[in-house]
A = this chain, B = another copy of it.
Amino acid sequence: MKTIENISRMSTFVKIMKKEGKSIGLVPTMGYLHEGHLSLVKAAKKHTDVVVMSIFINPLQFGPKEDFQKYPRDLKHDEEMAREAGVDVIFYPSLKDIYPEGYATYVTVEKLTGNLCGESRPGHFRGVATIVTKLFNIVKPDVAYFGQKDMQQALMIRKMASDLNMDIEVKIIPIVRDDDGLAMSSRNIYLSDAERKDAVVLYQSLKNAETLIKNGERDARKVIKTVEDMIRAKQSARIEYVKLVDTKELKDLKMITGEIALAVAVFFSNTRLIDNITIMVK
């Protein structure tokens, strides 16, 4: 496994691979890898010849009060995990190489980004769309892999790739969960023991809602209320949102019908966790 630390060397590598007719799979990450990331690598290895994992903590997608400075980093451990998972290249560019002085160009996706995390994190999705466009242009992947945990991000990227004629397939890979159901996230490391125990409520409340819906409940407000009540019962949890939306436009639904997503964002102290499930309702 190679680690490539600058854009121009990455471009050279990509040119050679393209000349050899190799297909490229890209797994964009911010590092501090967990099983969720590795499931993206696994999918990439199935479909493409060369798997590139980028590790870049993108300041553009953090708000001024968010955790950019203290976002967990451990390149050494990441390299071990990536090598074991069969990553061919880690692309680990510097901040200055990605955003040189005078940087000025941004990509925005105006649909899909207004609701859910877009409401509470202004500028976040613009930051994501911009860095992903840059990574796509540098790595020129045939397929790029994103996790369902960040559903809104993944759908936005897919829309962006289509709108901008990027000729890149965007694959969305299911959430990987810990044994007790908590969705894997680099931010789980921030949780205290008590918070870690309480955090299981996210998945539990979503599964409970799924049962309600499967048993015939069609009133979104009632389902949301049930989820909120379950989460609020945990002392350390502070709800940012519980939303029930369609999976096409991510708009709030009143009546539950079609393919829907139930999505939550919850703080435990300063740690913000998200989770979601999608359900097909006939």
A56-78 toward B: CB 8 Å interface, digit per residue (1/0)? 00000000000000000000000
Knowing A134-B165, A165-B138, A166-B137, the reply to whether A105 touches B104 (Cβ < 8 A) is no
| Chain B residues within an 8 Å CB radius of A105 | 107-110, 129, 159-160, 163-164
Does A13 make an interface contact (CB < 8 A)?
A: no
- A167 contacts B by Cβ under 8 Å: yes
Copy count, this protein chain: 2
Judge whether A197 is part of the interface by a CB distance below 8 angstroms.
Answer: no
Measured in the bound complex, the distance between the Cα atoms of B107 and A134 in whole Å is: 12
Whether B106 pairs with A137 at a CB distance below 8 angstroms is no
Q: A34 within 8 Å of B by Cβ?
A: no
Within 8 A of B (CB), among A224-242: none
Interface of A is mostly: mixed
Q: How far is the CB of A167 from chain B (nearest CB, A)?
A: 7
Q: Min CB distance, A135 to chain B, in Å?
A: 8
Bound CA span A138–B133, Å: 15
How far is B111's CA from A138's CA once the two chains are assembled, in angstroms?
22
Contacts of A104 in B (CB 8 A): 109-112, 159, 163
How many chain A residues touch B (CB < 8 A): the figure is: 25
Residues of B within 8 Å of A7, CB to CB, are 165
Q: Are B108 and A167 in contact (CB under 8 A)?
A: no
Q: Does A192 contact B (CB under 8 A)?
A: no
For A111, list chain B residues within 8 Å (CB).
Answer: 102, 104
CA distance A112 to B166 in the complex (A): 25
Q: Of B102, B107, B165, which is within 8 A of A107 by CB? A: B107
Q: Would you call B134 and A164 a contact (CB within 8 A)?
A: yes
A164 to B134 Cα, complex, angstroms: 5
User: Does chain B have a CB within 8 A of A94?
Assistant: no
CB-contacts of A79-117 with B (<8 A): 102-112
Pull 24 A–B residue pairs with CB atoms less than 8 Å apart, ordered by A.
Answer: A7-B165, A11-B167, A102-B111, A103-B163, A104-B109, A104-B110, A104-B159, A104-B163, A105-B107, A105-B108, A105-B109, A105-B110, A105-B129, A105-B159, A105-B160, A106-B108, A107-B107, A107-B164, A133-B164, A134-B165, A137-B164, A137-B165, A137-B166, A137-B167
